[in-house]
Structure 1
Amino acid sequence: MRNWRATTAAIAVVSALALATACSSENEDDGGSGGDSGGSGGGSTASELSGTIAGAGASSQDAAQQAWMAGFLGANPDVTITYDPSGSGAGREQFIAGGATAFAGSDAYLDDEELAAATERCGEVVEVPVYVSPIAVVFNLPGIDSLNLSAETIAGIFDQKITKWNDEAIAADNPDADLPDLAITPVNRSDDSGTTENFTEYLATVAPDAWPHEASDVWPVDGGEAAQGTSGVIQAVTGGEGTIGYADASQAGDLGTASVQVGDEFVPYSPEAAAAVLEVSERAEGRGEYDFAFDLARDTTEAGTYPIVLVSYGLACTSYDDADTAELVKAYFDYIISEEGQAAAAETAGSAPISDALREQLQTAVDAIGSAS
């Protein structure tokens, strides 16, 4: 499994601080639900935390990270956090390399080689699902807001075998739609992307005959149109006509979206349907005690599930070189997985909050974040 720049990251922190100031009065009576590290006190107690930590990674987490920074910095005004949404692949590379990046966000869990390298950097790796969201199949067709699409049809479109919007495969599942005789322009990510890997894994698992490619964070099909990051895909689809792409559903905006076939029904995306897939999935085997990577049940036929789902992870260490860095990362992750933190992400980014049962398991991993000093 596998995925704006420094100026954007700085803007994100400024935005987070501004939002924190606006929201602090609302949080004073909230009490929080995280641990005792000062990360989620909602302003009810003075925080003794101070210092700076930097993170990087999945662009899909950007809105959620801004919400988390807002809440955390509101309770910890002497802390500075930056997050560069440079993409999952870049985030994993920076985290493994160490240096200034204390934590990372990734739209897919570390592969075996990456996990080994990360373990060398920081002892046991903490890998926890912090952001659960559907990946929307978005399109731009005049007068059409929604379509039903099977996995085979989606695969045919993105493999450039289905090239017209009035193709019989699309028409068969949408008998009441006035489909235009218009060329389809598929838009994919140009950067190494966890969103791409999650999307291609779905196609490879559910429609292997129509998608003759392996799951990968690098787009495997030549041609079409490529765009950088989640925002780039959305801009490209919005700016064209007859375009179709895939992106974190929180960024879908006013674009048309597809309901995907699950068993005998077509299921539209929603946070609840995305979370339902995680509930029927199994934890990956052969990994560390604090590694909560999941092998997602893409081919589920469970009613009400949406299988094109992105589970984005937070990466941290159990043994940082610097004790102050460890304290800040632990406090920040404690807030992220808290009920308050998950609610903030849900409100801002439309993600699905993790369940109380899963939070209890993840807390053991967050509590293990520490330092060698």
Structure 2
Amino acid sequence: MASFCLPIVATAADVVRIDGAGASFPAPLYQRWFHDYYLAHPEVMVDYQAVGSGAGMNILLEKRLDFAGSDLAMNQRELAETAIPVVQIPMTAGAMVLVYQLEGVDKLRLSREAVVGIFLGTVTHWNDLLIVAANPGVDLPKTPITLVVRADSSGTTFVMTSHLSAIDKTFSERIGATMTPQWPGALKKRGALLRAHGNGGVMALVRSIPGSIGYTQYAYAYNSNISMAMLQNKNGQFVAPNDESFKAAIESFQAEKDPNNLVDPQGADSYPILTLSWLVIRKDLADEAKSKALQEVVRYCLTDGQTISAKLGYIPLSKGMIENILEHTEWFGKTAK
């Protein structure tokens, strides 16, 4: 008689539960990683809530999370001065895109001057000369521009404002690179500024409002029936967000080894706005089983998990970068104390 074995199912008492929250930018990828890991390791359950980088870090520092997701890396001084000991690890790269709702306009080009003008409130209608000049032959309507931004403290917003600050001195002086910008009064005065929570919230508003434009992580627009603008890069070329332009930007970044170049990469074929997204992990977890489980989860995400990144609209980390992280991050392979 044939024999067979039933799969071992972990009981509730056996399951190690790990809690995280933070950036919405990488949330679809993180949730897929953690789900796949659970299918292979049902004794480890990781929960991740997309609440924004700022909120996630605040909850982590209150010791109510095991890790947080953040699109804003801490410098060495900040790491040394945190209320609790943490380690931060880059997990994936992604692109920022401008999604828009403009009937009859499928391939919109936006110059750097036009993008800055939209965010400063000086470019008010879709037939503004700055937009018309970059779109010859396109019938642009006189529709007012409505800008959709994040309502929460957001790493995505930090990336967007970092790019705008890098390409325009006026924006840098008036608003600067920040997670919680004070948007120009001109936008508010004419009712052209709307706020939404999370990348998904920005997408939903842009979908529903004709003439609107907003910024979001590429993964949220990927495989979605929404238009994404071609943006002018540092070399003056208009490039669409796609695998080729992302690869060119990453290669430029890796060649120069300057993280600042991610917000405005060099190269004729480079897409102009990229970012790394990070996990910020507590090193003071008292539960040894949880600490070890979390290390293995993160190791999986950096190795086997990278193979699905591109399918979900993210940019996988390079093999060399992953090897460097695993080899030189002391937290791996050791129980945090």
Settle same-fold status: TM greater than 0.5: yes
Deviation at 1:218, TM superposition (A): 0.7
Deviation at 1:234, TM superposition (A): 0.7
Letter in 2 for 1:235: A
Matched, 1:241 2:210: yes
Partner of 2:5: none
Equivalent AA in structure 2 for residue 121 of structure 1: I
Report matched runs for 1:150-189 at 5 Å: 150-189=111-150
CA RMSD of aligned residues (A): 2.6
Contact 1:138 1:247 in 2 (8 A): yes
**1:264 alignment partner in structure 2:** 236
Change (3 A) 1:365 1:64: farther
Residue number among 157, 162, 178 corresponding to 1:216 in the alignment: 178
Q: Show the counterpart of 1:308.
A: 273
Q: Given the alignment, which residue of 71, 74, 85 partners 1:107?
A: 71
Q: For residue 7 of structure 1, what is the aligned residue in structure 2?
A: none
- Paired residues of 1:58 and 1:107 also in contact (CA < 8 A): yes
* CA contact 2:310–2:316 (8 Å) conserved in 1: yes
Gap runs ≥5 in structure 1:
1-45, 286-292
- Distance, in Å, in 1 between the alignment partners of 2:271 and 2:76 is 27
* Number of residue equivalences: 315
**Structure 1 residue 187 displacement after superposition:** 0.7
Compared with structure 1, are the counterparts of its residues 303 and 358 closer, same or farther at alpha carbon in structure 2 (3 Å cutoff)? same
Aligned to 1:368: 331
Q: 1:138 pairs with 95, 99, 105, which one?
A: 99
CA distance in 1, matches of 2:27, 2:171: 33
- Report if the CA contact (8 A) 1:138-1:245 is conserved: yes
Contact 2:89 2:278 in 1 (8 A): yes
One-letter identity of the residue aligned with 2:128: D
Structure 1 246/280 Cα, relative in aligned 2: closer, same or farther at 3 Å? same
SS in 1 for 2:280: strand
Aligned to 1:358: 321
Do the aligned residues in 1 keep the contact of 2:22 with 2:50 (CA within 8 Å)?
yes
Letter in 1 for 2:62: A
Kindly indicate whether residue 33 of structure 2 is the aligned counterpart of residue 68 of structure 1: yes
TM-score scaled by length of structure 1: 0.78
Q: Deviations over 1:159-184 (max 9, x none)?
A: 11000100000000101211001100
Alignment of 1:244-255 (within 5 A): 244-252=213-221, 253-255=224-226
| Stretches (4+) displaced over 4 A | 111-114
Shift of residue 79 of structure 1?
1.2
1:128–1:313 contact (8 Å) kept in structure 2:
yes
The answer to whether the Cα contact below 8 Å between 1:88 and 1:105 also exists between their aligned partners in 2 is: yes
Tell me if structure 1 keeps the 8 A contact 2:91–2:279.
yes
State percent identity of aligned pairs: 30
Cα deviation, residue 217, structure 1: 0.5
Partner of 2:246: 274
Amino acid at match of 2:177: A
Distance 1:78 1:267 in 2: 45
Following the alignment from structure 1 to structure 2, what is the Cα–Cα distance between the partners of residues 372 and 61?
A: 25
Q: Indicate the residue corresponding to 1:341 in structure 2.
A: 305
Question: TM-score w.r.t. structure 2 length?
Answer: 0.85
- Structure 2 Cα separation of the partners of residues 165 and 342 of structure 1: 39
Instruction: Give the match's secondary structure for 2:108.
Output: strand
Task: Judge which range, 144-153 or 185-194, deviates more.
Answer: 144-153
> Match of 2:201?
232
- 5+ unaligned residues in a row in structure 2: which ranges? 1-8
SS in 2 for 1:281: helix
1:57 to 22, 25, 28: 22
Post-superposition offset of 1:68: 0.3
Change in Cα spacing, 1:88 to 1:160, as seen in structure 2 (3 Å) is same
Structure 1 residue 74 displacement after superposition:
1.8
